Amino acid sequence: MFSSVIQPTYHDMQAIDPDYYKNLKMILDYNLEDIGLDLTFSTVTHWFGRSQTVDLMPNGRNIPVTDADKEKYVSLVCQHRMTTAIEKQIKAYLDGFYDLVKPSLISIFTPKELELLISGMPDIDIMDLKKNTEYHGYRAADKEIAWFWNIMFTLSKSEKAAFLQFVTGSSKVPLNGFSELQGMRGTQKFSIHKATGSVGALMSAHTCFNSLDLPSYKNEDEMKDKLLYAIKEGAGSFQFS
């Protein structure tokens, strides 16, 4: 679990707690016997007014630190201090979160599920998108539509995300895939509309409706150029629907 947390070095401690940093430096620079320190692999934390001895390794409070392994001690105690150093931040963040979502409601989920709940499924499955696409003015068998999907399958991951942002206003796929894409009136599947403009015009999107207005193009390459242009230029701007 800890591997997902940043691994601060003892140098980072200098910015947070300069005095503590000096102590650690002294431990590293001098023999423990000379400075008369009796250390064990444990530390004392103060958390909401309570102090508590925390083992830095199993049974750490009974394992003395020697000159041979004091670097390990410094690294462990820093990691601990640096993570307890963010407990105030975490508490403030949680206060805000619980203002909106009661702990008793959210606690039914696992961490992984919570991630899915917040961020949605991370991978954009073009097959799934294709399956859940509606056509207006086009038929699924039209050559423009065939070109369009050829292009979509060649896009890089970030281009796919940019495309999704362009069309839906968000780079994230709904929790259950594109069949549950949300629009202004609840579920709104991705749709491709035949644009009335001239051949080779820019494509546009309506994020409220998850729809793409696709004009006619001379060939697949032209369509791809226009699509890449649209998703790059269109990113961040809002199209009125």
Partner 1 sequence: MNGTPSSAVTLSTNSTELRLLRVLQTLHSLCAIPNDDQSKRNDEIPKASKELVTLLQGINLDALWQQLNACLSTVSVLEGVTKLSVDDEVKSNGEDDEDGDENGGRGGKKLQNSVAGLLSRFLPTIEAFFVVNACVTDCDNKGVKRTDNSDGNLVGGESFLKFIATNKVLLNALLRSSPTLLDKGLRAMVQIPGCRSFLDFDVKRHWFKQQVRKLRSQASRRHGNLRLTIRRQYVFGDAYRQLSMRTADELRGRLHITFANEEGVDAGGLSREFFGILAKEMFNPNYALFTSTEDGCTFQPNPHSSINREHLDYFRFVGRIVGKAVADGFLLDAHFTRSLYKHMLGMKVSFNLCS
- Name, in order, each residue with C-beta under 8 angstroms of 72's C-beta and a sequence gap of 6 or more: none
Distances (CA, A) of 18 to 10, 107, 224: 11, 38, 56
Which of 208, 216, 222, 228 does the annotation list as catalytic? 208
Sites for partner 1 among residues 206-235 (CB under 8 A): 207-208
Sites for partner 1 among residues 146-175 (CB under 8 A): 165, 168-172, 174-175
Least separation in angstroms between CB 240 and partner 1: 6
Residue 215 three-state SS: coil
Determine whether 78 is an active site residue: no
Residue in this structure with the two tokens 């691994």, named with its chain if needed = 7
Please, are residues 138 and 148 in contact by the beta-carbon 8 Å criterion? no
Q: Which stretch binds partner 1 (CB under 8 A): 7-15, 24-32, 131-139, 142-150?
A: 7-15
Least separation in angstroms between CB 50 and partner 1: 15
Number of residues that bind partner 1 (CB under 8 A): 73
* Lookup: tokens for 157: 């991951």
Phi and psi of 216, rounded to 5°? -80, 150
Least separation in angstroms between CB 42 and partner 1: 11
Sites for partner 1 among residues 58-117 (CB under 8 A): 58, 76, 79-80, 82-83, 85-86, 88-90, 92-117
Residue closer to partner 1 (CB basis): 89 or 198: 89
Sign of CA dihedral 102, 107, 108, 112: positive
For position 240 contacting partner 1 by CB under 8 A, the verdict is yes
Q: Which of 5, 26, 35, 127 binds partner 1 (CB under 8 A)?
A: 5
Gyration radius from the chain CA atoms: 28
* Lookup: tokens for 45: 């934390």
* Lookup: tokens for 53: 């001895």
Q: Which stretch binds partner 1 (CB under 8 A): 50-58, 128-136, 147-155, 196-204?
A: 50-58
* Lookup: tokens for 27: 């431990």
Sites for partner 1 among residues 24-43 (CB under 8 A): none
Q: Catalytic residues, which ones? A: 208
